[in-house]
Structure 1
Amino acid sequence: MYTVPLPRIGTDIAWRDAAKRLIGAGISPDDILWDYGGEMGALFATATPLPPVTRRIKAPQSFVAMANTVIWHKAPQRFGRAYALLWRLRHEPGLMQDRADPGLAKLRQMEKAVHRCQHKMKAFVRFRDLRQGGERRSFAAWFEPTHHTVEPTAPFFARRFADMDWMIATPDVTAQFVDGHLSFHPGQPKPDLPEDGAEALWGTYFCNIFNPARLKVQAMTSEMPKKYWKNMPEAAHIPGLIAGAEAQVQKMREAAPTLPHARAAKIAKRLRKDQD
């Protein structure tokens, strides 16, 4: 039995390296225990040395892309499920195209969930100005992702906010971008971040784009789940906007211009022709 420890930071690199060695040595999925961040405890604390790389087994690019996403899922079985599919691909080369296969379908669901979590992180991270001195502005944010998406998503923020230093703290992993260098560190409790003027701007912006006539609460909470509201300054306005939506729609109806009846418009057109 092989016990493979996987770190919380750099999980993707560690899993790929272990999977290559194990699959090359012909180690069955049933003979592997994947220990993420020491979650298995002292009973399985001793790692089994991995076999050396003896031969390389080429995997489809579609599997590689999927596995690189699935390993950021929160399910403890993610590593075993991905390796089990890799094991089957040795003798089932067309497996990645089999939409009816339950093992592949489960991994696709996990892949989709991670992509969704990454999308939510990009949309809902709210930075606060730390007001520190220096040539570069400094910001920090607190976020609670559903899956382990800090590492794969942080490069997006590095590209978008390359002109400032920032930190995204989460309970699992903390990302820091200082002087153009991106690094990752252990998670931490929610820091005491200062309030800034941007919070009021977020609220003003959200209130101005809110359209009560198109309000669908279920659809809104699906796109903006309530679990994120506590860390989004504009979310404080949501209950009031929902409560007043019906009254706002009625005001919009009353203020709307009155259009002439279609038949009246035809009669007016005919009269203009007669006058001409």
Structure 2
Amino acid sequence: MDVQVNLAGPVDLAGFRSEVRQLLAQQVPPESVQWQLDAAASQYADAEAPQASRPRNVARAATAIVPASFTRLCEFVVLHRDPDRFDLLYRLLWRLVHEPGLRNDPVDGDMLQAQHMAHAVRRDLHKLKANLKLRSVREDDGQELQLACHEPAHHVVEAAGPWLCKRVAAPRWALFTPERSVRCPEGKLGYGPGVPRWSLPNAQASDADWLDCYRRVFAPKPDARPDADA
């Protein structure tokens, strides 16, 4: 009988780690697992999806001790756009548990595929960081705002956010991508929805177009309320 596992979004590494502990504890083979993204995955919802397909009170003693290099590999592979990445990672983890010699096999097909995927993600992250071109605009109150667009090949925006927040000199900036947007006003990192590819501002867009895009993405929600202590 297949087991359906729901993850909270396309880069839910924490959820994946939690789930594989349960799967290993129950000795569920990779071919019996179906990985599904939460219905709100396109918005990277934080809410945990219900896991009614199997019991939750399973001991974690069966969690495998795996090489640190594999743990690091997972951090990059989950950012890849391949829809079968979670299947691949769990299959590799299962094999590391049951085939200890795998870690010393330099030509294993699954391991090579995962390494190639991780390399593609690293390259995509580097491309985002190296090619970021910020455009300076002025808001109505005169404050400067640096804005940029990018179209990454993989799910790298949230991974790049902390790095950008430390390295971009502008005190207020934002980056739009088709999948996810990120901003960092005064060092406070935050995320918003993506901007459809067809409506991303380009080099010929006016300052007003860039500001309009920023307001659409990061405008306060209608039900937002001021803090009680304000």
Range class of TM-score, shorter chain: 0.7 to 0.9
Structure having the higher Rg: 1
Letter in 2 for 1:54: A
1:167 lines up with 2:174 in the alignment: yes
Q: Under a length normalisation based on structure 1, what TM-score does the superposition of the two structures give?
A: 0.61
Give 2:220's aligned residue.
none
Q: CA deviation at 1:39?
A: 9.7
Gaps of 5+ in 2: 42-48, 208-230
Matches within 5 A, 1:1-150: 1-8=2-9, 11-38=12-39, 48-49=52-53, 51-55=56-60, 56-132=63-139, 137-150=144-157
Specify the SS of the correspondent of 1:179.
Answer: helix
Letter in 2 for 1:16: R
Q: CA deviation at 1:158?
A: 0.8
Specify the SS of the correspondent of 2:18.
Answer: helix
Contact 2:5-2:36 at 8 Å conserved across structures? yes
Specify the SS of the correspondent of 2:79.
Answer: coil
Larger deviation, residues 31-40 vs 163-172: 31-40
Rounded Cα–Cα distance in structure 2 between residues aligned with 1:166 and 1:146: 22
Contact 1:24-1:57 at 8 Å conserved across structures? no
Spell out, residue by residue over 1:157-202, the C-alpha distance to the aligned partner (whole angstroms, 9 max, x if none).
Answer: 1110255122111111111212312122332223447557xxxxxx
Give 2:227's aligned residue.
none
Letter in 2 for 1:24: A
Spell out, residue by residue over 1:195-240, the C-alpha distance to the aligned partner (whole angstroms, 9 max, x if none).
Answer: 57xxxxxxxxxxxxxxxxxxxxxxxxxxxxxxxxxxxxxxxxxxxx
Q: CA deviation at 1:136?
A: 6.7
Rounded Cα–Cα distance in structure 2 between residues aligned with 1:7 and 1:162: 33
Residues 164 and 133 of structure 1: CA distance in aligned 2, closer, same or farther (over 3 Å): farther
1:177 lines up with 2:184 in the alignment: yes
Q: CA deviation at 1:6?
A: 2.3
Structure showing the higher helix proportion among its residues: 1
Rounded Cα–Cα distance in structure 1 between residues aligned with 2:87 and 2:29: 11
Gaps of 5+ in 1: 197-276
Q: Under a length normalisation based on structure 2, what TM-score does the superposition of the two structures give?
A: 0.73
Letter in 2 for 1:75: D
Aligned-residue CA RMSD in angstroms?
A: 2.8
Contact 2:149-2:201 at 8 Å conserved across structures? no
Give 2:212's aligned residue.
none
How many residue pairs get matched?
192
Give me the identity figure in percent.
31
